[in-house]
Structure 1
Amino acid sequence: MTIDRLVLIVVYEGVQLLDVAGPAEVFSTAAKINGGSGYRLVIASPDGDAVRTDSGLTLGVDIALADAPARVDTLVVAGGLGAFTAVESPELLAALAPLRNARRVCSVCTGALLLAATGWLRGRRATTHWMACGDLACRHPDIDVEPDRIFVRDDDVYTSAGVTAGMDLALALVEDDHGAELARAVARALVLFLQRPGGQSQFSARLDHPVPADTTLRPVLDTIITDPAADHRLPNLAARAAVSERHLTRLFLQHTGTTPGRFVERVRVEAARGLLEREALGVRAVAARTGFGSEETLRRAFLRVLGVAPSEYRARFRSAQPEFEEVS
């Protein structure tokens, strides 16, 4: 006989509806395919009242957090814009504290901010929506934030990236509980990847380039960003800045957190992203226009930075375009 695992989903004012509905659909679909057993879902709010989601829809709940069962298998703390307010609520954080006894604790999207505020992520690896990774790292420097992960498991604590990544995490939990066959069946039913390719960098907005006050480095960065396809090998960059290669590398590490070569690569990847999304150009032409020189070099850079190949990226994010022209 299959044991029903109690999944408690925590919500609050301003929660993201899909952070709740997505994982709930995965668990409930698994139970249906599994003959009606396997998971029992309970939604809890701080006071037991319905909450207004950040999309404006009202979400009914089952219980107040104080009335949560003593034995919770999986605690899921949903995210959303409301998390930035909820994290300042001593009452909510206090109500979450007893639930640390759950077999596993999970967050979806900015729900990681609530887990962090309770201290559950201290000293752990974690992720959240790419837009909130910097905020999480700034608020909690004791957390090892991994901004490009779809979800992160650190022992019995799980954190996921934004919104639909909660479904990726829920699928992984189903696979842990019931095996890959059931997880595959759920993925097919919900038309999901069993394991999504790439990380969340492929979904992020253009990365903001740092603008250091250092007058030696700033013109170099501007030159790279303005003309990604130019010859930006280290000796040329150092000559432009009138400093040694070693000193220029030190300046890059100090002000951008990366090496000159990696900085140039990321700028070129971003330029290529724009062309792949907007222009009717073949991958070879995109590589030539962004300084990669060959399709293979471009492909390796995309896999390194975004976790997907250029052709896969274009298939997901390009605007409607006519046939691609192989021109350079």
Structure 2
Amino acid sequence: MTSIDDVRTRAVGAQRQRRAMSTGRRGDRIFSGAALGSGVFVLVIMAAIALFLVWKAVPALRANEANFFTTTEWNANGDPPRFGVAQLAFGTVMSAAMALVMATPVAIGIALFIGFYAPRRLAEGLGFVVDLLAAVPSIIYGLWGLHFLVTNSQGVVEFLNGTLGWIPLFAGDAVGGQSLFIGSVVLAIMILPIISSITREVFLQVPTAHIEAAQALGATRWETIRLSVLPYGRSGMISAMMLGLGRALGETVAIALVLSTVAGINWQVLEPGGNTFAANIVRTFGESGEIGRSALIASGLVLFVITMVVNMAARAIVARRKEFV
């Protein structure tokens, strides 16, 4: 027979349990609301940035006497102002794409070596050195590219021109100097630690059971990587590449120091010349008038849209590989 004390004990226990559940639900609601608010706040900030850029760009777009999207000339301070983003868009996309092509294989190779081939002590030291590259200020890369890479890469540039000159990108009569190719090399070195670090972390998340299963079937180390590691980390590698591409698209000081401004679009990337959105803003903002600054903000709006499109494309690609996440 149950005593009165037992009944009281059970009642107190049930009351405490209800309080705990109530507190937990309240905490869940608070956390959910905070997470939702944070997400909405980020979207509001992005929308505010876009509206600000549009608002500030309208005066220049109205005063412009040239086609904003197809004109290669940039004379926003003229009377009347004539400017367009064709050359800037070409230089930005071309330099960032070449940097991504050069940096991605090296970064993935470094990540694989550190994660699966190097001894533990060497892997820790090498990983620290690679990550340290991301902490170097961009102006240091720019000065190094201007005073060392430009003056000491003539032999490499001439070799590429002589060997691959049948490809339009590597053709040209006066190659060398401050070219898009040199700028892309600097950008590749800058984005390499970003891609390598993220890719390395993704590779380390591969389930041990996958690796052990491949090895139990007699797979070599490379076969294990090819069959187990790379498929699992494919979405992570794409995300790392897109982050590196975003850094390359928006780089300012380094690319402004390395490139020499030459009007027009030149597909021969080994010849001097080229310009990007960020470099053009850095170089001309201080000497620009009201319409000139508005025109630069309009070019920044185009860069903002390009970056958004790149990130949306990356999310779409990653979403298709959810089975490996």
TM-score by length of 2: 0.23
User: By percentage of residues, which structure has more strand?
Assistant: 1
Structure with greater contact order relative to length (CA < 8 Å, sep ≥ 6): 2
The structure with the larger Rg is: 2
User: By percentage of residues, which structure has more helix?
Assistant: 2
